[in-house]
Amino acid sequence: MQRVLKLVTVLLIISNVVLAAVVANYDFETTYGDWRGRGAASIALSDAVAHGGSKSLYVSGRTAGWHGASLDLTAVLKPTRQYKFEGWVYQNSGSDQVMIITMQRTYSGESRGWDRIAQVVAPSGKWTKIEGTYTVRASADELLFYFESENATLDFYIDDVLIVDLTGAMIFDFEKDLGNWQNRGAAKIELSSAVAHSGSKSLYISGRTSGWHGAQLVLTDILKPTRQYKFEGWVYQNSGSDQPIIITMQRVYAGESRGWDRIATVTAPSGKWVKIEGVYTVRAPAEELVFYFESDNATLDFYVDDVMIIDLSAPVGEAAAQFEFVAKFEDNLNGFAPFGRAELSRTDVVASEGKYSLKISGRALLYDGCIVDMTKFAKDLVDSNMMVIANVYHDCDEPKPFAFLLYTKTKKAENYSYIGYKIAMPKTWSTAVGYFNLKADDYEKVAILIVSPNAVDYNFYIDNFQVLGRQKAAQVKIPPDFGPVALKELFAEHFKIGVALPVRVFSNSMDVELITKHFNSMTAENEMKPESILRRDASGKIYYDFTVADRYIEFAQKHGMVVRGHTLVWHSQTPEWFFKDEKGNLLSREAMIERMREYIHTVVGRYRGKVYAWDVVNEAVDENQPDGLRRSLWYQVIGPDYIELAFKFAHEADPDALLFYNDYNEYHQKKRDVIYNMVKNMKEKGIPIHGIGMQQHINIGTSIEQIEQAIALYATIPGIVIEITELDVNIYRDNATKYEIPPIDLLIQQANFYRRLFEVYKKYSDVINNVTFWGLKDDYSWLRGYPVRRNNWPLLFDENYNAKLAYWALVKPELIPASSKEGSIVPGEAIIAGTMDDSFLQSPPIKIVVDGNDKLIARVIWGEDKLYIYADVYDATRNPDKDGVAIFVDPKNFKAPFLHDQAAYVIFWYNREIEKSENVEVERFLGPAYRRYSVEAAISMPGVKFSRDQLIGFDIAVIDDGKWYSWSDTTNQQKFSTLAYGTLKLEGIKTGKAMYGTPVIDGEIDDIWNKAEELETDVVVMGSLQNASAKFRVLWDEEYLYVLAIVKDPVLNKDNSNAWEQDSIEIFISETNHKTPPYRDGDGQFRVNFTNQQSFGTGASAARFKTATKIVEGGYLVEAAVKWSVIKPQAGMTIGFDFQVNDANAQGRRVGILKWCDPTDNTWQNMSKVGNLILTK
């Protein structure tokens, strides 16, 4: 085909344009990345078929249409932007099947919904493309993209999935103008409304006299060397016969002659739009790049529309994604240097691959090790999740830890932080993995430190050390590590160890191996719930399907496990039709009782002697109802005695089975008491109930003290046992935070939490006979989809079948690093005289607890140049030379594996001697008392000033007969390292005044309110300051505390069944102002909505609460009185107090929380951050 070279002189150059950018591109050759099975579906890489390359993603085990393969894009897709989704699907069912791509979305302030992006009819045995566009119309709490099929049981394959951001990109729809397109050769180009692929116009090409004549676009300044681009468009011709249409790149690479590369050819039928697409790589710097449409038919007129060019090279974060640093130590140390007193050498004594490894010896301190400087790569590492991976080895005879620490230094701060932690078995190579993400900054230094921080009497080795970007990391396969000790053997003397499982695990050999190693009890995650067993035929007749449920029994019997049955009677996952007759009306009480009897007898009877325990009734308590029971359909149709009836029916069906009432939040005081009274009452009435199931869906901030209190209370019911039925420990404390990779500090916190939790379980093992985890490993956890879609890591094993620190915390707790504690202190000053000044009481206490008993209770306040500490130490014996209190302060809050020069410490020995660093000055008073003593001190450091919102490093320890007990660094290394110092925020907890006076609670503003101080809710917990807010005043007398609030809220709604999600206010009172979790006597949470409907949290009741409300212009008014319960109020007293406004939107969803003081959404169970209210006359 002849080309005319003189065209170059008239080329129109395009610049400053944006190409469509790739958001994600999955070829499934080495990994399925962040894809997850949806519903019952399993996903796996498969080499059975592939569209491109040699593998695809196989989706199997589906039991419902929506089951499939999903990808969480919540943190990826941006509001108001348009995206294109495309992929290839394959199925070999023998017939055509409908395949669908869908977006599950929850836009802020809306309920969850589903938007179908595209569907395609996929013939059997042939790859079919599916594609569509989707616009994210607003900020979203959830965006979940997935493949599904109308055939509920169809297995299928997907491959080459591409997601492209189309917003602002170079897309030619030819609706308004030609853009930068030019005619080529004799061709004429013009806009035409004769036909269009989309919109109303297209580009018409006519007058051609040669094949290469057509329409062209000059891309010389747009396309970049070594990058790959996808070209696509739609073509149309009406010649009356099929015609070939071609897209081509005319190029002149530097130093080469002009050439032409055909990108793609399509046979276009007459009278029909057809897509043409292909990929082109710019292989070198180019002097000319001209893209054009042509045809082998030299005189063919044709149309072009919707042309798009996509940069497949994903330019955002490309350097980081492709980054690779490898040190194999075969020829040199690869930039590694000793850290501390360690000595480094290459050795051929051991190596994981090749001949040499790096030996670290001669260590004197725990954090002596090796370090590699990454500063020159800092810019390449920014804003991308980087993996650090190495093979590690030690020559000790016991398991030992390895830690990766990231060191960063900028002009503002420097810090060391854990990024990976691995427990390695003795004298064998293990794989240690860590992750980090550098935020954009001007880094003066970046380095990675490797240590073994447990002891110094052994050598350790590393080999094949790598730092990898996201795309490189995706190609790494981390070997499984189930851990050395079987959990079922570790706790054999205490209780059984169970696991909740989806049915798909039985088909996965790795899952089976992990299950049978560690667990001796199992629960069906969903497959024994009513919706999984109940069926209806076409006539409406009910029947049962035990096909899936039976597999659990078979598996358990084969592997010597017991089965917990979950669950029989539940308000959720029970079909609504089960409560109705054939006409859709609710059944009568008698008919529903009979239906329940039949269901329980059928299910429990089938598994009599095979299921040892049943969760008979699940989640029936609603502590906010007058009788404490949830208003479920069970309750509505039968009445409150449905609970007792269910237990009777279950006992009839299997007299030997243990029968449990099961619930969540069972440790919260108010709900705990309802459960306790309900079960105790049933037991006293002779109802066959044998135990309480404590679900224990908890997080790393949950109060273990509250959990123990609940266990202790339940254990007092005669004849009742306890089982932990659904244990997982969420790493998040809220519903907003999301992480792509797990922060190691949170995994360390989680590990220490599990350790302390199991200490409580073991303490009560005389009544606890089973602890069941709700999931086998992190990626199987329901918490990845609830309450929001996000990565979560709540279990003992991770996605790679590796035992986590949480596992090791149960097996070898001494190998787990300390969790750095966090706290806050308030300003104040004190006279050092051995008595606790009132100002100390306004600061939350710092506690050291040993074996369930307080060892130390300290309060700290701050002044401009001093810290004041008052500590009560509980010590029944005296050894003056070996008893004392140690205090550590780091004003820089520089976490380092050594004691840096700005950190200071002081030890107050009971013999009145003081040991301290040179950079600290102290005043102190030591006061002895019976079985305890107190220490009061003022600490200053020359040149150091303190200010509000400053973060300081801090720790405190009790020394008892030479043994140390620490608040934060439980490894007691404070004199050698600041790494595990706690962090204190220097806050200014709000203080207000309540004036003396008695108003009338009638919704009218009495004159007496004018004497009270006006306060306001200006602390944002959820939403913004534009959400509903209040100005309020407080009065008091000998009987009541009074509150008047004017709430600004133009949209009032109380549709939500949850009282706290309605437009309402909440009053929190802590009469003793103890500033500690959990709630104590005198604490209460009182709520009233804008229509004067009251509801209550822990410690509150209608007997103590009088309210009146009135709707006013722009909002509503609340007048309330709370009756004192434990104190006799007097002027000068300070109580704990907070005030909260809940803001519901028009759809009945809470979208805002504003408070007076506490910035957390945790006041309902923790009064430590409420404000101070001074009773004043």
State the pLDDT at residue 4: 35
Query: 308: which residues sit within 8 A by CB, 6+ positions away?
Result: 20, 166, 169, 170, 171, 172, 231, 232, 233
Euclidean distance between CA atoms 304 and 216, whole angstroms: 11
The closest of 865, 835, 1165 to 986, measured between CA atoms, is: 865
The catalytically annotated residue of 142, 726, 987, 1061 is 726
Task: Tell me how far the alpha carbon of residue 114 is from its chain's centroid.
Answer: 22
Q: In this structure, are residues 456 and 379 in contact, taking their beta carbons and an 8 Å threshold?
A: no
Could you identify the residue written with the tokens 């997601």? 163
In degrees rounded to 5, what are phi and psi of residue 109?
A: 85, 0
- The torsion region of residue 818 among left (phi > 0), alpha (psi -120 to 50) and beta comes to beta
Percent residues over pLDDT 70 in the chain:
97
Residue 560 phi, psi dihedral angles, 5° rounding: 70, 35
HSE, CB side, 13 Å, CA atoms: give it for residue 981.
34
- Quote the Cα angle for 350-354-360, to 5°: 40
Report residue 907 as tokens: 């030890």
Between residues 1171 and 473, which one has the greater pLDDT?
Answer: 1171
Over residues 220-246, mean pLDDT? 93
The per-residue pLDDT of the chain, averaged, comes to: 93
Candidates 436, 325, 439, 434; CA nearest to 382 is 439
How many C-beta atoms lie closer than 10 Å to residue 188's C-beta? Answer: 13
Q: What is the pLDDT of residue 227?
A: 85
> Which residues, in sequence order, are CB contacts of 137 under 8 Å at separation 6+?
79, 80, 107
Cβ–Cβ < 8 Å for 58, 149: no
Question: Is the N-terminal amide bond of 530 cis, ω within 30° of 0?
Answer: no
Q: Using DSSP, state whether 305 is helix, strand or coil.
A: strand
Angle, alpha carbons 1051-1053-1054 (nearest 5°): 160
Which amino acid is residue 845, in one-letter code? P
**Contact 148/130 with Cβ under 8 angstroms?**
no
Which amino acid is present at 10? V
Beta-strand runs (E) in 703-832 = 721-730, 768-773, 822-827
In what helix (H) or strand (E) does residue 511 lie, and over which residues does it extend?
helix 509-518
Which amino acid is it at 1131? Answer: A
pLDDT of residue 15: 43
d(CA 792, CA 700) in angstroms, rounded, equals 12
- CB count within 10 Å of CB 33 equals 16
Q: Read off the tokens for 202.
A: 């297209």
Dump pLDDT digits (tens) for 796-805: 999 999 999 9
Asked if the model's pLDDT at residue 8 lies above 60, the reply is no
Rounded to 5 degrees, what angle do the CA atoms 233, 235, 236 make? 160
Q: How far is CA 398 from CA 67, 105, 457, in A?
A: 46, 50, 12
d(CA 1066, CA 1155): 9
Kindly report the number of other CB atoms within 10 A of residue 783's CB atom.
Answer: 23
Closest-CA residue to 496 (of 723, 803, 698, 715): 723
Nearest to 1056 by CA among 1118, 1143, 1147, 1141: 1147
Could you confirm whether 598 is annotated as catalytic? no
What region, left, alpha or beta, does residue 426 occupy, with left being phi > 0 and alpha being psi -120 to 50 degrees? beta
Q: What distance in Å separates the CA atoms of residue 282 and residue 264, rounded to the nearest whole number?
A: 15
Q: What average pLDDT does this structure show over 667-682?
A: 96
Rounded Cα–Cα distance for residues 416 and 586 (Å): 63
Task: Answer whether the bond into residue 787 is a cis peptide, omega within 30°.
Answer: yes
User: Quick one: pLDDT at residue 109?
Assistant: 78
Confidence of residue 168 (pLDDT cuts 50, 70, 90): low
Instruction: Quote the pLDDT of residue 12.
Output: 42
Q: In what order do the strands lie in the sheet with 182-184?
A: 182-184, 214-218, 286-295, 243-253, 259-268
CA–CA separation, 164 and 22 (whole Å): 4
Q: Which two tokens stand for residue 203?
A: 């580009």
Q: Which of 240, 247, 262, 258 is nearest to 215 (CA)?
A: 247
* Residue type at position 1016: E
**CA-CA distance, 917 to 1075, in Å (whole number)?**
32
pLDDT tens across 718-730, in order? 999 999 999 999 9
**Using 50, 70 and 90 to split pLDDT, how confident is the model at 215?**
very high
* 1150 contacts: CB under 8 Å, gap ≥ 6: 1022, 1056, 1058, 1060, 1061, 1062, 1142, 1143, 1144
Confidence of residue 2 (pLDDT cuts 50, 70, 90): very low
- What tens digit of pLDDT does each residue of 314-340 get? 544 556 777 899 999 999 999 999 999
Active-site position among 527, 619, 1066, 1071: 619
**630 pLDDT tier (thresholds 50, 70, 90):** very high
Tokens of 426: 């003795």
Alpha-carbon gap, residue 683 to 718, rounded angstroms? 8
DSSP, collapsed to helix, strand or coil, labels residue 125 as: coil
Work out the pLDDT band at 790, boundaries 50, 70, 90.
Answer: confident
Comparing CA positions, the residue from 759, 783, 763, 761 lying closest to residue 772 is: 761
The pLDDT of residue 22: 79
Domains along the chain with CATH numbers: 20-165 (2.60.120.260), 170-311 (2.60.120.260), 318-474 (2.60.120.260), 528-695 (3.20.20.80), 822-986 (2.60.40.1190), 991-1175 (2.60.40.1190)
Give the count of alpha carbons within 13 A of 304, CB side only.
33
* Distance, CA of 184 to CA of 200 (rounded, Å): 24
Known catalytic residue at 1038: no
Res 14: pLDDT: 45
Q: What is the mean predicted confidence (pLDDT) over 631-642? A: 97
Q: What is the mean pLDDT of residues 243-253?
A: 97
pLDDT of residue 317: 52
